Amino acid sequence: MNSWTIPQNCAIIKKAGFVLPDFIEKGVLQMRKNFGAQTWMYPMPVLIVGTYDENGRPDAMNAAWGGIYETNQIMLCLSENHKTTKNIRAKGSFTVSFATADTAVPADYVGLVSGNNTPDKMEKSGLHAEKSTTVDAPLFQEFPMALECKLVKFNEDGIVVGEIVNVCADERVLDENGKIDTDKVNPIVFDSVAHTYRKLGEKVGTAFSDGNQLK
């Protein structure tokens, strides 16, 4: 990355009447590199969408683009050609699980192949499905945390919006207070620049709290 030192130019710039921020006077200003329009976002969750087809066969899909839409609602970006899309339309329900470090391989696999042309996709994935008790969609034993959702709407741009009717988690990923422990879940994120999966790191702060010290 290109950089240029500031101190030797500070006197000239200040003499011209400009006020320099402290960080410029104290060191090196790093120049930014432009990459153009890219679908890069840090971090991106690895979401596994679980559905049943019209015959009750479970399916799982790795959805790269998704997130919270509104309070108690989730959004997924799915094209019409996906089997998952057809299943959601047919059943009106789906689950969203979070891939973990231990499940990176099967999580990646279900994003590489389609149930449209791989009938034994689930058998090859090694994932074990069990029916959700709240929606007409499968949960997968290997993923310890999931959102259970009912379809709200599906627009022409391929945006699926679902109501989160329940969040469930295995007891093995709960802390001593019965809350979900991120370290025990051990979720992974997708690095869209390097095309790799990465684990989450350690806690660095407390949300809706640490910023108060700057007020």
What is the average pLDDT score of the chain?
90
Question: Exposed, middle or buried by CB within 10 Å (0-12, 13-18, 19+), for 4?
Answer: exposed
pLDDT at 14 over 80: no
The DSSP code sequence of the chain is --EEE-HHHHHHHHHTTPPPPHHHHHSEEEPP----S----SSEE-EEEEEE-TTS-EEEEEESSEEEEETTEEEEE--TTSHHHHHHHHHSEEEEEE-BGGGHHHHHHHHHS-TTT-TTHHHHHT--EEE-SSSSSEEETT-SEEEEEEEEEE-TTSEEEEEEEEEEE-GGGB-TTSSB-HHHH-BEEEETTTTEEEE-------TTTGGGGG-
% of the chain at pLDDT higher than 90: 74
Average pLDDT over residues 145-167: 95
Average pLDDT over residues 58-73: 94
* pTM of the predicted protein model: 0.84
> CA dihedral in degrees (83, 89, 92, 94; nearest 10)?
20
Beta bridge partners of 61: 49
Average pLDDT over residues 63-67: 91
Going by C-beta distance under 8 Å and a sequence separation of 6 or more, which residues neighbour residue 140? 48, 50, 60, 97, 127, 128, 129, 130, 146
Domains of the chain: 1-33 (no CATH), 44-199 (2.30.110.10)
Pairing of strands 93-98, 188-191: unpaired
Identify the pLDDT of residue 169: 98
Q: What size, in residues, is the chain?
A: 215
Average pLDDT over residues 163-169: 98
Residue with tokens 């839409």: 69
